[in-house]
Amino acid sequence: MTGLELIRFILGCLFLGIGVITYAIEIIGVFKQKVALNRMHAAGMGDTLGLSSSLIGLMILSGLNLNTVKMIFIIVFLWFTSPVCTHLLAQLEVTTDEEFDSYCEDKTK
Amino acid sequence: MKRVIELIGDVSTPYLVLYKSVLILLALFLIFCLVRAILGPRPADRLLAVNMMGSITMVIIATLSMLLGEGYLLDICLIYAAMSFLAVVIFTKVYIGVYKEEKEEEK
């Protein structure tokens, strides 16, 4: 492994490492926060940055072929679905929480 | 260190070491997600953990397809993304509907 292949391997390692580290930060955040809406903030990170950078790393490692196109499709699909998922989960939390108004300060009143 | 090398197994090329270590780390994260799903006091926490497990599983399938050299595993990854999205949407909609019905019955 010399020259161009070595550079490709190092770049792929870098992006995969960023993805795995993002997932680690996500897990730490989910266990550290006390309120469910704050946990949602930590979990939304892994869906977008973690998955995107991991798949970009795998794309660099695989080279240009049909697999790369499929990975691009997965990333584009996740861009659309992940915000919808997080929005629906936040809606569920706000709807079902009985004491939501007590710890959510309303400045309009 | 020797124990880690035994766990990874065949270390003939750097690609194998990279893919296998990523797989082991992500499997560890999956266990923590499961712990969150069991602990989570509210239903939103449990659904959140399921959503996180879905995205980690997608990366595991994509890495496995590179490790085995099988391109068709990425099609499964795409289907898994669609199914995990659909599961979260349906669960939240059903739960909100059931909760509102119970509220109206109480009144």
Q: Which residue bears the tokens 């669960």?
A: B91
Question: Which chain A residues are closer than 8 Å to B30 by Cβ?
Answer: none
Query: CB-CB: which of A43, A77, A89 is closest to B78?
Result: A77
Task: Residue B68: give the domain boundaries.
Answer: 2-106
Interface test with A, best of B23, B46, B51, B67 (most A CBs within 10 A): B51
Q: Residues A29-51: pLDDT tens digits?
A: 999 888 888 888 888 888 889 99
**Which of A43, A58, A65 has its CB closest to that of B48?**
A43
What is the tally of helices (H) and strands (E) in chain A?
Answer: 5, 0
Contact B59 A54 (CB under 8 A): yes
- Report pLDDT for B79: 93
pTM exceeds cut of 0.90: no
A53 close to B (CB below 8 A): no
Cβ contacts of A71 on chain B, cutoff 8 Å: 62, 74
- How confident is the prediction along chain B (107 residues), in pLDDT tens digits per residue? 666 666 666 667 888 888 888 999 999 999 999 998 998 788 888 999 999 999 999 999 999 998 888 889 999 999 999 999 999 999 999 999 998 888 888 88
Q: Could you tell me if B67 and B18 are in contact, meaning their C-beta atoms sit under 8 angstroms apart?
A: no
Chain B hits for A19, CB-CB cut-off 8 Å, are 59
Picking from A37, A92, A50, the residue whose alpha carbon sits closest to that of residue B89 is A92
Number of domains in chain B: 1
A42 Cβ contact partners less than 8 Å away, ≥ 6 residues apart: A25, A26, A28, A29, A30, A32, A33
The complex scores an ipTM of 0.87
CA max distance for chain B: 69
pLDDT at B40: 76
Q: How confident is the model at residue A96 (pLDDT cuts 50, 70, 90)?
A: confident
Nearest to A11 by CA among A47, A51, A56, A49: A56
Q: Which chain A residues contact residue B58 at CB under 8 A?
A: 51, 74, 78
- Residue B7 has a CB neighbour count (10 Å cut-off) of 10
